[in-house]
């Protein structure tokens, strides 16, 4: 495999420190690069990629071994892992996007809103965590959606950083932080928003903001009945 470069410098690093092993590489966002990244995902590998919010760490959400490796790479011992999807149809296939969730999705997707809903698929335990719910989002980033579509319509989209550390905005930051823990890093330039998505849990007629983010609580309140948001 050819080495990756940034500003003319070779930034490839050894994968898992094993002689002769694969290298973590950085590529751009050409069609060929996206297709290569998707191929790796479908083979059970890990990639880091740009979104509208921050850089994401991704793998096939239906591959339990890949999901487990991602959790170890991020040093995450608890919590769930959100999934980015390429379309509303894909989101509806994976989770319960109806009622209040549909209202929020229609208002803020594509965009920095993660909806935590009842799943419509059996996911690996690391994805749903103890809540047994799934977080879904459509990013407002055309190349990221193209990548997700090439991966089959769904890609884990947790932030590409070690657990407890700040989210990262550039490919170079991801390489420094994760080093040999990922197989490929896609460099799409700085993430436009530089802030994580707002996370809202929707169960029936009740919605709860679980994490403040790029969309304000006020904007959420303007979209839904005030008495149903906490």
How far are the Cα atoms of 29, 45, 193, 214 from residue 165, in angstroms, in the given order? 26, 23, 18, 18
Average pLDDT, the chain: 89
Closest by CA position to 70, among listed 90, 49, 93: 49
* pLDDT tens digits for range 151-168: 999 999 999 999 999 999
Q: Does any domain span residue 149?
A: yes
Q: DSSP for 165-180, please give it.
A: SPP--SHHHHHHHHGG
pTM: 0.88
Q: Output the domain CATH number for residue 87.
A: 3.90.870.10
Q: What is the pLDDT of residue 97?
A: 98
Do 48 and 57 touch, CB atoms closer than 8 A? yes
For the chain, give me the number of helices (H) and strands (E)? 8, 14
Q: Does any domain span residue 6?
A: no
Q: Does any domain span residue 4?
A: no
* pLDDT tens digits for range 187-197: 999 999 999 99
pLDDT band at 7 (very low <50, low <70, confident <90, very high): very low
Q: Does any domain span residue 15?
A: no
Count Cβ atoms below 10 Å from residue 12 Cβ, excluding itself.
17
Q: Structural domain tally of the chain? A: 1
Say how far apart CA 50 and CA 126 lie, in whole Å: 22
């Amino acid at each position: 495999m050819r080495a990756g470069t940034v500003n003319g410098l070779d930034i490839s690093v050894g994968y898992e420190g094993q002689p002769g092993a694969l290298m973590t590489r950085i590529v751009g966002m050409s069609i060929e690069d996206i297709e290569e990244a998707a191929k790796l995902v479908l083979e059970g590998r890990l990639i880091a990629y740009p979104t509208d919010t921050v850089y994401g760490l991704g793998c096939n959400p239906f591959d339990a071994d890949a999901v487990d490796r991602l959790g170890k790479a991020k040093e995450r011992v608890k919590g769930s892992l959100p999934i980015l999807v390429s379309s509303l149809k894909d989101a509806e296939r994976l989770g319960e996007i109806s009622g209040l969730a549909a209202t929020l999705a229609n208002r803020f997707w594509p965009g920095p809103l993660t909806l935590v809903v009842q799943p419509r698929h059996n996911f690996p335990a690391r994805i749903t965590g103890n809540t047994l719910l799934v977080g879904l989002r459509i990013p407002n980033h055309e190349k990221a959606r193209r990548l997700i579509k090439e991966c089959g319509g769904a890609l884990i989209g947790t932030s590409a950083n070690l657990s407890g550390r700040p989210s990262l905005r550039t490919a170079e930051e991801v390489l420094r932080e994760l080093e040999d823990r990922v197989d490929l890093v896609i460099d799409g330039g700085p993430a436009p928003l530089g802030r994580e998505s707002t996370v809202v849990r929707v169960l029936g007629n009740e919605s709860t903001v679980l994490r403040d983010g790029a969309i304000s609580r006020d904007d959420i309140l303007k979209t839904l009945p005030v008495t149903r948001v906490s």
